[in-house]
Amino acid sequence: MSQDSRHEWLELHGDYLYRFALARLRDAHLAEDVVQETFLAAIKTTSFAEQSSQRTWLTGILKHKIVDVMRKSRREIAASELMSEEDANMDEFFDSTGHWLESPKAWTVPDDVLEQKQFLATLQACIDKLPKKLAALFLMRDVHDTENEEICKELEISATNAWVMLYRARMSLRKCLEINWLVN
Show the binding pattern over residues 144-163: x = contacts another protein (CB under 8 A), - = does not: ----x-------------xx
The residues, ordered by sequence, that sit 6+ positions from 27 with a Cβ below 8 Å of its Cβ are none
Closest CA to 157 of 76, 87, 72, 82: 82
Which residue of 58, 83, 119, 134 would you call a contact of another protein, by CB under 8 A?
Answer: 119
Backbone dihedral angles phi then psi of residue 58, each to the nearest 5 degrees: -65, -40
Report whether 54 contacts 17 (CB < 8 A). no
Decide if residue 170 touches another protein (CB under 8 A). Answer: yes
Contact region with another protein (CB under 8 A), list: 46-54, 60-68, 73-81, 170-178: 170-178
For the bound state, the minimum distance from the C-beta of residue 104 to another protein, rounded and expressed in Å, comes to: 4
Cα–Cα distance measured from residue 64 to residue 66, given in angstroms and rounded to the nearest whole number: 5
Which residues are bridge partners to 100 per DSSP?
A: 94
Binding site for another protein (CB under 8 A): 3, 6-7, 9-10, 14-15, 18-20, 22-24, 28, 32, 35-36, 39-40, 43-44, 88, 90, 93-94, 97-100, 103-109, 116-117, 119-120, 123-124, 127, 138-139, 141-143, 148, 162-163, 166-167, 170-171, 173-174, 177
